[in-house]
Structure 1
Amino acid sequence: MNLPTYGFGAEQGLLAIYIEHPPALSEFQKLNKVIALQEGEVDYINQQCGNGWRKVFNVYAKFIAELSHPDHDFTNQSKHYPSWQKYRDKRLLQQGCQEALLFSVPDLAANRYDWHIIAGRTYAKALLRDHIFTNSLHWIDEEFAIDPVNKLLICPYLDYRQLSNIKISKLAELILTEHAKVIV
């Protein structure tokens, strides 16, 4: 059974990050599918919804840059996106991107995304209790967990204090390490 998937970005791709709530704007309250944001819409959401959303988008773009995944176009087209800020403004969650920011329950069986990342331990534990059933999830520490079978990660929320640059690097390394195991 496929679960409804809704949020911003690519309908399928390299990764999806799940957070609990969409921006508090009327146009996003009744999302029922994944939509690509338009150029300038990240800035619009930041202006309308405040600093919390600016942090979400900034941390997401920094993570994409840190990830430098060989299958992601940030790395392959770096001449077009020489910085995470340029990627955020010109491509993050927009048409042709390879990532999503979802507000729905992860559908691990649908194979829409290579990696599923739940941002926020409290939100993740609620999803694990009520919706996601996995026997292969193990906690690395109090903030990070990985299920390599289902390609599911749990990390701190997309905020500078919770998912600092050091923790962004740790999250990227978890994905790249698992990706390298598949290639070998």
Structure 2
Amino acid sequence: MAENKIYRGLGDSDFNIGVFIQNEPDSAEFSSLTSIQALQSGDITRISSAFGNGWRKVFNVYAKLLFALDSQLFPYQSLASSWQQYRDQYLLQQGSKTALIFGSPHQIQTNAINIITGRHFGAKSESEFEFVWVDHHFALCPPHRVIICPYFDYRQLTNARIEQLSVYINQFVQNK
């Protein structure tokens, strides 16, 4: 569970992989959230249609990342035949162990992988964690299982960078 910390966002409140994002869909439905709300089947399509291509990219990149993880360590590939099917049928739903968290990345869950999307957003947490920048795109804080990565967008978090991020996540779990 979320260690008595307040999280606002979408997904499973008992997450293993939490993605912290600075923005949220611009509507009263999301700005009034006071906790993590599980999505239902069809919500990702609805949100993508209502709030634009940027949100579709966030969901797509998240699902692609989950499918890039080591299937021996993470069950995502066993649930669906493709990342697209996983996105539509499981991502951010109850029991998915995934969350998209709006707001402060200093609120982390220590027994989960915590991914901060966006270098500038992640920089706000650099005083709270001892990050090691491994290159221009990724910073790691292994003791707290926190990663700063490019924003979840195809141009910033390319397929090659998704693979690189998956290696860091796999290493965090293997070195637990």
Code of the aligned partner of 2:136: E
Corresponding residue for 2:121?
123
| 8 Å CA contact retained: 1:8, 1:34 | yes
CA drift of 1:101 comes to 0.4
CA drift of 1:29 comes to 1.2
Q: How does 1:1-184 map to 2 (within 5 A)?
A: 2-75=4-77, 78=78, 80-106=79-105, 107-108=107-108, 110-111=109-110, 113-129=111-127, 133-134=128-129, 136-182=130-176
User: Number of aligned pairs?
Assistant: 173
Which SS does the other structure have where 1:43 is aligned?
helix
TM-score between the two structures when normalised by the length of structure 1: 0.87
Instruction: List gaps (5 residues or longer) in structure 2.
Output: none
> Cα–Cα, structure 1 residues 138 and 69, in superposed 2: closer, same or farther, change >3 Å?
farther
Code of the aligned partner of 2:80: Y
Which SS does the other structure have where 2:143 is aligned?
coil
CA drift of 1:3 comes to 4.0
RMSD: 1.7
CA drift of 1:180 comes to 2.0
Which SS does the other structure have where 1:13 is aligned?
coil
Aligned counterparts of 2:163 and 2:9: Cα–Cα separation in 1: 25
TM-score between the two structures when normalised by the length of structure 2: 0.91
Aligned counterparts of 1:31 and 1:153: Cα–Cα separation in 2: 25
Aligned counterparts of 1:24 and 1:70: Cα–Cα separation in 2: 37
| 8 Å CA contact retained: 1:4, 1:104 | no
| 8 Å CA contact retained: 1:68, 1:74 | no
CA drift of 1:71 comes to 4.3
CA drift of 1:142 comes to 1.3
